[in-house]
Amino acid sequence: MFFIRNTLFLTVGAMLTLMAMTAMAQSKTPLAQEYHINYSLMSAKAADLIRKTCPSISARMFVALGKARALKSYALNKGYSEPEVRVFLKNPKEKARVKAMAANYLKQQGAVTGDVQSYCRVGRAEISKKTLVGQMLRAH
């Protein structure tokens, strides 16, 4: 009797765990639609575009690496697996989408393709406002 009751208890517990895991998996927002992750990636790409375009601004690499680690922890805590995140980050369509978001953001802030100084102005403004983009940059 003891064995049957414990087996039943373990079986019910396993079923409830499986149901909870299934519910969590189903309730996960697709990575491409998760706001914090996409905003962070867009900000990192915008900072990268600024530092590559403006000669008087460089990356704060340790800050950027710290933010990348924090973002990875955030994704894992939200229930995304490392392989799932890796596939998302390496997907060429997602890379292009994030780059387009960053280019659009920079354009809205006043950056003009081909105008180096406009990228410098935007970069200095981002640094001054301490935005996520600005936190990853340093002006010389």
Q: Hey, where are the domains in the chain?
A: 1-29, 34-139
Q: How far apart are CA 119 and CA 17, in angstroms?
A: 51
pLDDT in tens, the chain (140 residues): 544 544 444 444 444 444 444 444 457 899 999 999 999 999 999 999 999 999 999 999 999 999 999 999 999 999 999 999 999 999 999 999 999 999 999 999 999 999 999 999 999 999 999 999 999 999 99
What is the predicted pLDDT for the residue at 136?
A: 97
What is the predicted pLDDT for the residue at 1?
A: 54
DSSP string of 33-82, one letter each residue: G-HHHHHHHHHHHHHHHHHHH-TTEEE-HHHHHHHHHHHHHHHHHTT--H
Q: How far apart are the first and last CA of the chain?
A: 77
Name the pTM for this structure: 0.79
Per-residue model confidence as pLDDT tens digits over 10-45: 444 444 444 444 444 457 899 999 999 999 999 999
CB 60 within 8 A of CB 137: yes
What is the predicted pLDDT for the residue at 110?
A: 98
- Residue 8 one-letter amino acid: L
